[in-house]
Amino acid sequence: SQQGEEDPQALSIQEGENATMNCSYKTSINNLQWYRQNSGRGLVHLILIRSNEREKHSGRLRVTLDTSKKSSSLLITASRAADTASYFCATRGGSGGSNYKLTFGKGTLLTVNP
């Protein structure tokens, strides 16, 4: 079953507004990561938050993690047209071993209108 589930599936906002995307997962994790993917391109790693962290910032990005609710959110502040992309959360399991796999959610398509 899909580990990460993002919502909303699609989000359309105006430039300058904030965008919030959520991700829920089902099993215990070692860390959770957010990626961006422009149409037809590879993935760009945005930010990683470990299971013992609750909040992390990187530039205009803010990620929160609530392990009790098995959920995470990605906030992009002061959005720009260039932020238009699909955003995926990915979880890495915490069950031990050195070969952790990343499990991706279905993604949120963000459109930032100029």
Partner 1 sequence: GAVVSQHPSRVICKSGTSVKIECRSLDFQATTMFWYRQFPKQSLMLMATSNEGSKATYEQGVEKDKFLINHASLTLSTLTVTSAHPEDSSFYICSARDGGPYNEQFFGPGTRLTVL
Q: Does 13 bind partner 1 (CB under 8 A)?
A: no
Residues contacting 59, CB < 8 A, separation 6+:
none
Site string for partner 1, 84-113 (x = CB under 8 A): ----x---------xxxxxxxxxx-x----
Give the total of residues touching partner 1 (CB under 8 A).
21
Give one DSSP letter per residue of 43-64, joined into a string: EEEEEEEETT--EEEETTEEEE
Of 4, 32, 1, 37, give the one whose Cα is nearest residue 110: 37
Which range of residues in 11-19, 35-43, 56-64, 69-77 is near partner 1 by CB under 8 A?
Answer: 35-43
Q: Does 61 bind partner 1 (CB under 8 A)?
A: no
Q: Which amino acid is at 20?
A: T
Binding site for partner 1 (CB under 8 A): 2, 35, 40-45, 48, 88, 98-107, 109
